[in-house]
Amino acid sequence: MNAEARPEVRLASSSVGALAAMKGVFARDMKVAFRQRQDLLNPLLFFIMVVTLFPLGVSPEVSFLREAGAGILWVAALLSVLLSLDHLFRHDFDDGTLEQLVLQPQPLFLLILAKTIAHWMLTGLPLVVLTPVLGVMVHLDGNSIAVLCLTLLIGTPVLSLIGAIGAALTLGLRSAGVLLSLLIIPLYIPVLIFGTGTVAAAAEGAAVGAYLALLGAFLMLALTLAPFAAAAALKISLSNG
Amino acid sequence: MWQFFHKLGSPKWFFGISARFMPWLLAGGVLLLMAGVVWGLAFAPKDYLQGNSYRIIFIHVPTAFMAQSIYIMMASAAVVTLVWRMKLADVFVKAVAPVGLVLTFLALFTGAVWGKPTWGTWWIWDARLTSMLILLFLYGGVIALDRAINDEKSAARAVAVLVLVGVVNIPIIKYSVEWWNTLHQPASFKLTEKPTMPPEMWVPLLLSVLGLYLIFGWLACIRMQTEILSREQRTRWVKEFVMRGRS
């Protein structure tokens, strides 16, 4: 990777406010990502391929797909986010940008929050956009697809935020990828349960407001706590090297 | 108070003091566990519904109880590691995580053995079973992370962060799994609630829980001692200790 492709973090003084610093980190991450477009596409292709495996591997019956479709899409989205987490800090760690970030006078957890939001915009959000197409392919009805998109819209940021902790903990380790999955999947289970539960309730005609509120509560909890844990983990991982 | 606190951080002090009460832990633990298990297996009355097959409760409940309480102890130690950087706290986490893993597995295994005659199946996706399975994953993650990081200090702190993230998640996992389950089938697992049992059943159960607690204390001590010896192998007191053992 040449230096030209990776803009530097330009916020080196304490006169820059925390919000401006977050904006700077966010803008930089977006810029870096769009210079490596293939990396953006890969999680999406992975998402589509995993969804394809289920009709081929289990059953192409309409009744099965309608029953399991929401779960399949959720699991595929979860795995796809999991796979993309490695990118969250890895490149910045390799070229030293991450150390510069830790040395900034602005609070590290805010900068990590900005990075995580960028990560979600680049992986979680495209998955949500792609969901209606795949939803039709697994024979979900219109209402279920709408609810599914809504749950993914609330749920995928939680996945990114929790994942940031795992990515920070496993930074710079051998076989970090598998380890990351081992650490993070148990923590993803509640999000998966409520995400698919919401769609199941919608399919039965029940009210989904309460389920969505619970998912929203997860998002708030992850939004407020996960960046702190990830910042602590990042500092530990950096002192390790 | 503070002097005690500082002493608690010293591996050497712990090594000396733990050696003194370890025999008592072991003796008390074996005694209580034997009493509880023998009483439970041989003398407690039969269950009117399940007959003799319920007796595995005297092994199942203590292991399940310990599996959960070890994780909470680990979380407390993790706070100490992160806040005070106390060496002993991370020695504790590292030493007991495999014990917790084994006990969680035993709880699941005995649960499966019990489930076969009672429910007619080795495994169902019941709320409790599932949350114990996730607890097993969490223990596995803690051990895997600890093994993956070479540097002792950063391993300790990274593991502490992971344990704390896990402890925040445990109630969430528990309730999400319970909620998820009740949608499909009502809980059939009221048997372990204590008030519904006659004293001839819950007293031996309590004894075996306490016994396992003491045995866990002994196991934790001996594993911590081993860990301390390997960490402090370059210090003078460890060398002297080893030489004394040899002569």
**Predicted-complex ipTM score:** 0.85
Q: How far apart are the first and last CA of chain B?
A: 38
For residues A152 and A131, what is the distance between their CA atoms, to the nearest angstrom?
9
For residues A177 and A182, what is the distance between their CA atoms, to the nearest angstrom?
9
- What is the reported pLDDT for A53? 94
Domain boundaries, chain B: 17-246
CB contact under 8 A, B169 and A186: yes
Residues of A in contact with B168 (CB under 8 A): 225
pLDDT single digits (tens) A111-129: 999 999 999 999 999 999 9
CB contact under 8 A, A190 and B176: yes
| Better pLDDT: B54 or A55 | A55
What one-character DSSP code corresponds to residue A170?
Answer: T
**Residue B148: both structure tokens together:** 């993956």
Q: What angle do CA B87, B93, B97 make, to 5 degrees?
A: 155
8 Å CB contact between A113 and A24: no
- What is the reported pLDDT for A10? 58
Contacts of A172 (CB under 8 A, 6+ apart): A93, A237, A240, A241
Closest residue in B to A178 (Cα) is B144
For A240, which of B149, B161, B168 is closest by C-beta distance? B149
For residues A89 and A101, what is the distance between their CA atoms, to the nearest angstrom?
11
Per-residue pLDDT of chain B (247 residues; tens, 9 = 90+): 566 666 667 888 888 888 888 899 999 999 999 888 888 888 777 776 777 777 888 888 889 889 989 999 999 999 999 988 888 888 999 999 999 999 999 999 998 888 888 778 888 887 778 888 999 999 999 999 999 988 888 899 999 999 999 988 788 877 777 777 654 444 344 445 545 567 777 788 888 899 999 999 999 999 999 998 888 888 888 888 888 876 5
Residues of A in contact with B158 (CB under 8 A): 169, 233, 236-237, 240
- Angle, in degrees to the nearest 10, between helices B152-184 and B87-119: 30
For residues B106 and B95, what is the distance between their CA atoms, to the nearest angstrom?
18
8 Å CB contact between A174 and B148: yes
- What is the reported pLDDT for B74? 95
Instruction: Establish if A2 belongs to a structural domain.
Output: no
Instruction: Establish if A10 belongs to a structural domain.
Output: no
- Total H helices, total E strands in chain A: 10, 0
Question: In angstroms, what CA-CA distances link B40 with A107, B56, B65, B209, B210?
Answer: 57, 9, 17, 12, 14
Residues of A in contact with B176 (CB under 8 A): 189-190, 193-194
Name the residue range of residue A214's domain: 17-240
CB contact under 8 A, A197 and B82: no
Instruction: Establish if A4 belongs to a structural domain.
Output: no
Number of domains in chain A: 1
For residues A89-100, average pLDDT = 89
For residues A124 and B109, what is the distance between their CA atoms, to the nearest angstrom?
38
Q: Is B47 helix (H, G, I), strand (E, B) or coil?
A: strand
Q: What is the mean pLDDT of chain A?
A: 89
For B161, which of A190, A193, A229 is closest by C-beta distance? A229
Q: Is the pLDDT of residue A240 over 80?
A: no
Q: How far apart are the first and last CA of chain A?
A: 22
Q: Which of B131, B132, B150, B162 to mutate to test the interface with A (most CBs of A within 10 A)?
A: B162
For residues A215-227, average pLDDT = 94
What's the burial of B184, exposed, middle or buried (CB within 10 Å: 0-12/13-18/19+)? exposed
| pTM reported for the whole predicted model | 0.86
For residues A74 and A131, what is the distance between their CA atoms, to the nearest angstrom?
10
How close B70 comes to chain A (CA, Å)? 18
Residues of A in contact with B140 (CB under 8 A): 182
Q: Which residue has the tokens 């399991």?
A: A68
- What is the reported pLDDT for B189? 41
Q: Is B140 helix (H, G, I), strand (E, B) or coil?
A: helix
For A169, which of B138, B161, B173 is closest by C-beta distance? B161
- What is the reported pLDDT for B7? 67
Beta-bridge partner residues of B51:
B47
For residues A149 and A154, what is the distance between their CA atoms, to the nearest angstrom?
9
Q: Is the pLDDT of residue A209 over 50?
A: yes
